[in-house]
Amino acid sequence: MKLNEEQQALLDGSRGEVMAKIMKTLVMYGDAFGAERMVPVTGKYGHTVISFGLGVMDPVYDLYDEILSAGILPEQKFTADPKPLDPKVPSGLLDDLVFKKLMYNRQERYEAQLRKLGITKDEDYTCACYLDQVGNIPRKGEILSWAESSAVVYANSVLGARCNRNSGILELMGSIAGCVPEFGLLTDEGRKADWIVEVKCEKKPEAQLLGSAIGMKVMEDVPYIRGLDRWLGRELNDSAKAYLKDFGAATASNGAVGLYHVENLTPEAVEQGESLIREGAQVYVIDDAELERVYRNYPVIWKKPDAKPQLAFIGCPHLSLQQLTDWAGAVLKGLEKNGRKKVAVPTVFTAPVQVIREFEKSIYAWPLRHSGVVLSSICPLMYMNNPLCKSKAVLTSSNKLRTYTSAKYCTDAEILEIITGGAK
């Protein structure tokens, strides 16, 4: 890899041993992927995927202490993924004991480190950092050093920024050194599509299902999606962006997609059209029957597959304000239809703190709270990532949560029926 003078000096120790090690790590990372040079991180803010203080990750926090003691702070401030704990989210005594004493017993230590390292604000813990209310919105063409897969795929695809699917820690190192190795999705060539996906559904495909089907088919490749503009329109408005947020998170977790193009809708597809498609690209046709096949093949790994649901999580990735408002309206209407005052299953809607604050001003806030729905900015995956949750019957409309935990996936309509007491 060719380094410029400044980068070489960092590697040679001009800013001390710790910075030299950080630079060396980034260079080795780039070498592993055939990068020929380092390029400056140009996005205004970073974003870190590590938002949790896990007892088994002490070496990471020790490393961050070493960085802090060396006095080398990231060049950019950053937002962080959602936290793993929120007392508002229903949990038993034993869960609390496991969460606080055994698992996330380094949470305070880690959050203090993030404050010193430069988290933008104490409330900026959300994977949907690119929502207007949070404000970490990269611009087209900016180079980022992020790792959260749902945020990376959104930034690349919907905003046209450039970011690889980095790992935690490495992403912070990129923010500290102010440069990242240039390969993959940072290059024009790496942003070309290897797949053409033809969406031929007769009804609007569920975002999380369509993303899952595409992710499982193309894995880490870049898909160019035709036919979705029929359902989403040709304008990147709030509802298209919310759809693409959920769709992208499913492509990134059910597969390893870091960038997709939607014909006539996402910025590079609008600008470059079919010239984005690589010669010899494979074709995947998706119709309603294909989505049904994908859905029916999800394993249900609840201990008792017909158990009564104990908890429902909606909002992974975190909900936008419009989504939260729509869900609130739908739940209240569903409860009224079913003659109920309270939800039939303890339900948690997850969204950024700033979105929840905005929602609290709406006419839905009071009745929703009284229906028993909990609003939280927790990460449901972190909540479920423990042995106790394996025996819990948890429902979700998130395909990411289904993939990483024992939660059972339901479509939005199904989960709405269940939580409002319309389905048994």
Asked whether the beta carbons of 177 and 19 are under 8 A apart, the reply is yes
Q: Is 247 exposed, middle or buried (0-12, 13-18, 19+ CB in 10 A)?
A: buried
Among 205, 348, 380, 416, binds ligand F3S (CB under 6 A): 380
Q: Tell me whether residue 45 or residue 195 sits nearer to ligand F3S (CB atom).
A: 45
Q: Binding pattern to ligand F3S, positions 246-275, x when CB under 6 A?
A: ---x--------------------------
Q: Is 381 in the site for ligand F3S (CB under 6 A)?
A: yes
Q: 3-state SS of 396-412?
A: ECCHHHHHHCCCEECCH
Q: What's the DSSP call for residue 109?
A: H
Say how far apart CA 235 and CA 264 lie, in whole Å: 8
Instruction: Dig out the tokens for 339 from the structure.
Output: 């003659």
Q: Is 317 in the site for ligand F3S (CB under 6 A)?
A: yes
Site residues for ligand F3S, 5-34, by CB under 6 A, read: none
Among 43, 53, 74, 82, binds ligand F3S (CB under 6 A): 82
Which H or E element spans position 48?
strand 46-48
Q: Taken in order 151, 154, 157, 161, is the CA torsion positive or negative?
A: negative
The size of the interface with ligand F3S (CB under 6 A), counted in residues, is 13
Q: Is 372 in the site for ligand F3S (CB under 6 A)?
A: no
Segment contacting ligand F3S by CB under 6 A, of 209-217, 314-322, 323-331, 360-368: 314-322
Q: Binding pattern to ligand F3S, positions 116-145, x when CB under 6 A?
A: -----------x------------------
Q: Tell me whether residue 127 or residue 375 sits nearer to ligand F3S (CB atom).
A: 127
Cβ 99 to ligand F3S shortest distance, Å: 15
For residue 324, the Cα-to-chain-centroid distance in whole angstroms is: 17
Q: Is 379 in the site for ligand F3S (CB under 6 A)?
A: yes
Q: Is 150 in the site for ligand F3S (CB under 6 A)?
A: yes
Q: Taken in order 276, 278, 280, 285, is the CA torsion positive or negative?
A: negative
Segment contacting ligand F3S by CB under 6 A, of 12-20, 138-146, 160-168, 379-387: 379-387
Say how far apart CA 249 and CA 256 lie, in whole Å: 10
Q: Is 355 in the site for ligand F3S (CB under 6 A)?
A: no
Q: Tell me whether residue 76 or residue 403 sits nearer to ligand F3S (CB atom).
A: 403
What phi and psi values does residue 321 have, to the nearest 5 degrees?
Answer: -60, -45
Which H or E element spans position 196?
strand 193-199
Q: Is 50 in the site for ligand F3S (CB under 6 A)?
A: no
Q: Is 86 in the site for ligand F3S (CB under 6 A)?
A: no
Say how far apart CA 410 and CA 115 lie, in whole Å: 38
Among 81, 182, 221, 268, binds ligand F3S (CB under 6 A): 81
Instruction: Dig out the tokens for 29 from the structure.
Output: 């990372």
Q: Is 245 in the site for ligand F3S (CB under 6 A)?
A: no
Q: Is 310 exposed, middle or buried (0-12, 13-18, 19+ CB in 10 A)?
A: middle
Say how far apart CA 357 and CA 343 lie, in whole Å: 22
Among 147, 153, 265, 316, binds ligand F3S (CB under 6 A): 316
Cβ 148 to ligand F3S shortest distance, Å: 6
The one-letter amino acid at 332? L
Q: Is 400 in the site for ligand F3S (CB under 6 A)?
A: yes
| Contact residues: ligand F3S, CB under 6 A | 81-82, 127, 150, 249, 316-318, 350, 379-381, 400
